[in-house]
Structure 1
Amino acid sequence: MRLKDKVAIVTGAGRGIGCAIATTFSKEGAKVVVADLDLSTAACVAGEIESLGGDALAVRVNVAKKKSVDDLVDAVLEKYGRVDILINNAGWDKIEPFMESTEDTWDKVIAVNLKGTISFCRSVLPIMISQKSGRIVNIASDAGRVGSSGEAVYSAAKGGVIAFTKTLAREMARNKISVNCVAPGPTDTPLFAEIAAGNPKIAEALVKTIPFRRLAQPDDLANAVLFMASEEAAYITGQTLSVNGGLNML
């Protein structure tokens, strides 16, 4: 088991990519903190993990609120006494032309996608520094690398996540902590279904542009994140791995 007895926090783990990461980590022996804004979905995922013999803790968290993040980390320390892996997966987006977007939307996109990642890193890193070990994997997006029409502020936020990851990787290397990004392309998740609901042809059009001719599945991302969180990636830090079926080749 690649993550035996490691304590891993996964945000946005109630569904989609986060759920796949949480269950994959559990199968590899990790004790998984299933964190989500929706406690009912987090509890469902944690219950599924426990039914298969795993160890999981469901916690509600609002990643846009630093106190909520700090409270979660305190709860994890109380139960497990350490944090070995942090997966910043929680995200939110609204597809629309930039000139039709509003400040409220900008604030939410930045708060969830960028500030949430920064807040969790700030809360967890003192623990990892004291341990002289740790793995952080931030879920970015190819939108943050090449841009995406209808996602101007989301692209900016995810670009910020990538830049933040590189700087943090430089600062944390002396403490034997790696910090990397996994950047999904279009992925078949409930969030994608919600975004595409207003335009049923969006998925079909995207598939035609992807060399592998399919959307990513959550497990495609979970396996990449597992690699980055494992000892197999011990000498990798500050990198961004795109998982996109060849949609963008950077």
Structure 2
Amino acid sequence: MKLTQGHTLITGATRGIGRAIAELLAERGEPVLGIARSGDDTFPGPLLLADLLDAAQRREVLAEAASLHGILRLVNNAGFNHMQPLGAITDDARSRILDLNIAVAIDAAQAVLPGMAAAGTGRIVNIASRSLLARAGGSVYSAAKAALVGLTRSWALELASQGITVNCVAPGPVATEMFERNNPPHLARSRALVEAIPVARLGTPQEVAHAVDYFLSPHAAYTTGQTLFVCGGASISQIRL
């Protein structure tokens, strides 16, 4: 379904789920704007470059996006994970995980909020993870994604009167570069993880993109503050991630 006017801003836009969302919208002729750390000539729309872990760069690029492109839809997709058990969590990994998953989402929402409020409409979709329920060896990432759900619910209450909906998509194991980096396919534990998913396979970025597309659409005008797990049943099973 054709979305309303304005651009869709996607952070972490050139790979995995972010790229799949951009391509799905662009195939329909929707204007998309991406933010990524490195360039990609094949991206289906304007692409702004910035290291989102650098607070100054982040605020500058978000201000540029908001001022030039009329952002009425935001997908907070940028994220980072580094598996470390409790006793081995480093300051650097903790900061990177929390900043990229939480601080970036807050700054992006703040940047586009004035334009959405002025238009009387807007969509914010936060990309969390099935890991928000718990992840042995990944407690900081789990906490960061759980925090995104808290932000989603609180923003939904704050912004509903302005015509802005805020929802969350929580993917399970999906065949992306980040997942394979943390779960090398040749390892027995990685194969066991996939076999334990109720549907017995990894998800695809495109399957997650379609869920995001619903929340971005006019069909979702009465849906806000919700978290949709796109996880092959992993959120309701005994799978150990």
Q: Partner letter of residue 97 of structure 2?
A: V
Which residue of the other structure, out of 121, 124, 128, is the alignment partner of 1:136?
124
CA contact 1:136–1:178 (8 Å) conserved in 2: yes
Match of 2:199 in 1: 212
The TM-score, its normalising length taken from structure 1, stands at 0.89
Q: Hey, what's the Cα distance between the residues in 2 that align with 1:203 and 1:35? A: 31
The answer on 1:181 being equivalent to 2:168 is: yes
Q: 1:65 to 1:132 in 2, by over 3 A?
A: farther
The answer on 1:34 being equivalent to 2:21 is: no
CA contact 1:142–1:183 (8 Å) conserved in 2: yes
Task: Quote the offset at 1:193 in angstroms.
Answer: 1.4
Q: 1:99 to 1:198 in 2, by over 3 A?
A: farther
Alignment of 1:184-203 (within 5 A): 184-197=171-184, 200-203=187-190
Task: Quote the offset at 1:201 in angstroms.
Answer: 2.5
Q: Hey, what's the Cα distance between the residues in 1 that align with 2:66 and 2:154? A: 26
Which residue of the other structure, out of 105, 125, 136, is the alignment partner of 2:113?
125
Q: Hey, what's the Cα distance between the residues in 2 that align with 1:173 and 1:64? A: 29
Match of 1:74 in 2: 63
The Cα offsets for residues 150-202 of structure 1, whole Å up to 9 and x where unpaired, read as 11000011111100110001000010000000001011001111112397233
- The percent of aligned pairs where both chains have the same amino acid is 34
Q: Hey, what's the Cα distance between the residues in 2 that align with 1:118 and 1:74? A: 13
The answer on 1:24 being equivalent to 2:11 is: no
CA contact 2:9–2:34 (8 Å) conserved in 1: yes
Q: Hey, what's the Cα distance between the residues in 2 that align with 1:26 and 1:157? A: 30
Q: Partner letter of residue 226 of structure 1?
A: D
Which residue of the other structure, out of 157, 160, 163, is the alignment partner of 2:147?
160
The TM-score, its normalising length taken from structure 2, stands at 0.92
Task: Quote the offset at 1:68 in angstroms.
Answer: 2.4
Q: Unaligned stretches of 5+ in structure 2?
A: none
Q: Hey, what's the Cα distance between the residues in 2 that align with 1:239 and 1:45? A: 33
The Cα offsets for residues 203-248 of structure 1, whole Å up to 9 and x where unpaired, read as 3111111111001110010000001101111110000000000111
Match of 2:215 in 1: 228
Paired residue secondary structure (1:84) = strand
The Cα offsets for residues 68-125 of structure 1, whole Å up to 9 and x where unpaired, read as 2332233334543x11110000110011212111111111110111111111111111
Q: 1:4 to 1:167 in 2, by over 3 A?
A: closer
Paired residue secondary structure (1:227) = helix
Match of 1:44 in 2: 41
Match of 1:2 in 2: 2
The answer on 1:245 being equivalent to 2:232 is: yes
Q: 1:127 to 1:221 in 2, by over 3 A?
A: same
